[in-house]
Every structure is written in C-alpha cells, then in structure tokens.
C-alpha cells in the first residue's frame, strides 16, 4: 500500500500500517487553526470538510461556532461524534461526498479544509471547488491547508501542490486573498515517521537525511510543509 493511495476508512478501522499511529491524529486541533480562529478567521456557520476525527471541529465548537463536519469515512465520523460528546459539544457530523455536497446548498459562511485538498486528484479538484461554491453563501470564506511542493522528495504523500496550481485551480471560483507557506503538525517524531514510511511503502527507499532535516515542534513532532490559503467566494 502506498501512502498516496490511502483508504482512509481502513486506516480508521485499524487495518493498515498507518493505523498504528495515525500521522494526522494529534489529539487536539492544528495549532495553525487555533491561531486562525483567534485572529477572527471564522464566522457564521462553519463547514469542516474532510473533518476526520473531528478535533478541529470540536475546537471551533468550543469557541462558540456552529460547526458541521463532513467526511467520507464512517469510522472516523463515529469517533468524531464520541470525542465531541465526551466534551459536551453539539456538532453535526455526517458522511458526504466532498465533490458533490448534495443537500448543503447555500448553507455555510466559512469553510475549513485541513488537509483534504491534496488527497484529491487533479481531475477531481475542480468538482470539489465547485461543490464548495454551491454549499456556501455569497462572500463566504475558505481556509485551506494542503501539502506543498516543499515536501521532501522521498516522503510519500497523496500530492505536492504548487503555488501556481492553487492560483490556477482555486482561483477559478474563489478570490485568493492570502497564500503563504506554513506547517502542519503530525503525531510522529522523525524516527517514527521514517519507520512508518519504511513499513507502509517497502517499495520506496526513503532518505534518512531528509527525515533528519524535517522541522519539529517542542515535543519533537514532525512539522510538514503546507500552504495556507484564504479565499472569498467569487
């Protein structure tokens, strides 16, 4: 199994090598999203698209936002509901096709995409962005975090997205106001990340030097390079 071909439902069910320590399950919201909320980046009804285990949605709900979390993996949604309930939070978590979003027309004021966009292929991304337009209100804001082309070459990810690609694709239906590099916090140390890649993708030969050069936070968790994009519905 290549990481670029992840079956997320299998990951959440615990039946793939990635399930031993899910790289994106840090048990708390992404720090960049915390900072974004503190800066006033969320308003009105919020869509967390590709919400996964729901920690970002739970954080936003704890700050008083009305949040709907959508994902394609039923097991992730069940865990997201359980985590929210344990915190006494009321969040709507539902299964949906992100490229269609049927039944959500004209509903949301803010969209959060935390690491979904780079999981879609080039043919699917335009349909996804069009679906977001249909699901949002005029003037809605989109906040997107996706893997950038600064990702180490031997680190297998679904896709590396260039600045030009974002401007040409997202820019067709959204007015991009901010596009800058930042980082995405993982649950893994450098050593754990290298071991996970070796286990999950034995056909690849990861470069230990590249992993040793990865940035980490104060707890030693790897920080992966991503784009932070903010746009308004055109």
The CA distance from 207 to 113, in Å, is: 30
Distance CA 147, CA 122 (A): 14
Q: Would you state the pLDDT for residue 5?
A: 62
pLDDT mean by block of 10 residues, the chain; 234 residues: 66 84 95 98 98 98 98 98 98 98 98 97 95 98 97 84 97 96 96 86 83 94 97 94
Domain 3-185+226-233: what homologous superfamily?
Vaccinia Virus protein VP39 (3.40.50.150)
Side-chain half-sphere CA neighbours of 185 within 13 A: 17
Query: Nearest 5°: phi and psi at 153?
Result: -65, -35
Sorted by sequence, the CB contacts under 8 Å of residue 65 that are 6+ apart come out as 37, 42, 46
CA quadruple 164, 201, 51, 60: dihedral positive or negative? negative
């Amino acid at each position: 199994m290549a990481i670029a071909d992840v079956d997320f439902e299998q990951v959440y069910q615990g039946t793939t090598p990635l399930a031993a320590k899910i790289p994106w399950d840090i048990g708390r919201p992404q720090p960049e999203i915390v900072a974004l909320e503190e800066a006033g980046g969320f308003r009105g009804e919020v869509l967390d698209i590709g919400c996964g285990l729901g920690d970002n949605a739970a954080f936003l709900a704890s700050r008083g936002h009305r949040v709907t979390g959508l994902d394609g993996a039923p097991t992730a949604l069940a865990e997201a509901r359980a985590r929210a309930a344990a915190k006494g939070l009321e969040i709507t978590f539902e299964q949906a096709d992100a490229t269609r979003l049927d039944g959500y027309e004209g509903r949301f004021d803010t969209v959060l995409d935390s690491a979904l966009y780079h999981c879609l292929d080039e043919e699917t991304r335009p349909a996804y962005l069009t679906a977001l337009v249909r699901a949002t209100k005029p003037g809605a804001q989109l906040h997107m975090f996706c893997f950038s082309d600064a990702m180490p070459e031997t680190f297998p990810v679904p896709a590396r997205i260039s600045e030009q690609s974002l401007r040409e694709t997202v820019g067709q239906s959204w007015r991009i106001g901010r596009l800058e590099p930042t980082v995405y916090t993982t649950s893994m140390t450098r050593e754990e990340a290298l071991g996970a890649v070796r286990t999950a993708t034995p056909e690849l030969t990861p470069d230990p030097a590249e992993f040793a050069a990865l940035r980490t936070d104060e707890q030693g968790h790897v920080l992966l390079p991503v784009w932070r994009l903010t746009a308004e519905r055109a």
